[in-house]
Structure 1
């Protein structure tokens, strides 16, 4: 399981770097085209928006797996080690349940609905279901990470 965890982390890290690099190049190209040519390309703003959405949602799933997400753990750190492990495991189960219901099921319904209706993005004419597909995918990642972290014995 640890090898799968490391492999998934490496793939996601590379993918996040690529998305971020694409976002930087896109925004830089938009700024330069406005300054040099006096007008920008029609797709750059939309591409930046979708890249930022993917970067944010996939990055949140990745950080959840690394246990680097935002947390208010003041009271948690006051507990004894045994109770702290119990509470952290309950938190992992709650996060997995949230990811299943909201991200996988809800996000899956969103993807299905937008693909079924044939909704396209305005400038690039990409099916919006492909853009929204990052939500259930990230939900599955959060579930995987939650069960991986639950099964670990050190916290």
Structure 2
């Protein structure tokens, strides 16, 4: 069935995205450790060098991590949500409300995608002060993340329909980390 194929493709894509987020976390850790080493340890040894690129690299990498990681979180309903109200409703009311919230979220992600594209256009004319890259490379995190959030939201909806699960409890069925 096409829905099952779609869910499987998205899940395979999320494995790749999760690996990318892990690699980005490694980059952030190295950049921050380098900054601490240069700023505090070497300075205490009277070795005064500067590494301004570490702060910029860590910041830009964190931006990508947030958008990519949030997209994977959407797939398993792991985003912060006020679920207690919808979980207490009877299924006849709570399930349609949860699907409506998912559809509204998809619309919101679409809006943020369009805003992100505007940022990308703006970023083509901006250059980061230290790394010297155009900021569109950073701003692409938002539209890419929003597309992934839309795809993952649709996969979550498809999975609950295919498996006959109550979408109000989708986070309870997420695989353990």
TM-score of the pair, normalised by structure 1: 0.91
Structure 1 runs, 4 residues or longer, greater than 6 Å off: none
Structure 2: gaps spanning 5 or more residues: 1-5, 168-177
The answer to whether the 8 Å contact 1:95/1:142 transfers is: no
TM-score of the pair, normalised by structure 2: 0.81
More RCO (CA 8 Å, sep 6+): 2
The answer to whether the 8 Å contact 1:31/1:40 transfers is: no
Give 1:32 shift. Answer: 1.1
CA distance in 2, matches of 1:21, 1:44: 13
Partner of 1:65 in structure 2? 75
Structural mapping, 1:76-95, within 5 Å: 76-95=86-105
CA distance in 1, matches of 2:95, 2:52: 51
Structural mapping, 1:6-155, within 5 Å: 6-34=11-39, 35-36=41-42, 37-101=47-111, 103-115=112-124, 118-151=125-158, 152-153=160-161, 154=165, 155=167
CA RMSD of aligned residues (A): 1.3
The structure having more radius of gyration, on CA atoms, is 2
CA distance in 2, matches of 1:91, 1:145: 14
SS of the residue aligned with 1:21?
helix
CA distance in 2, matches of 1:127, 1:111: 10
Structure 1: gaps spanning 5 or more residues: none
CA distance in 1, matches of 2:25, 2:75: 19
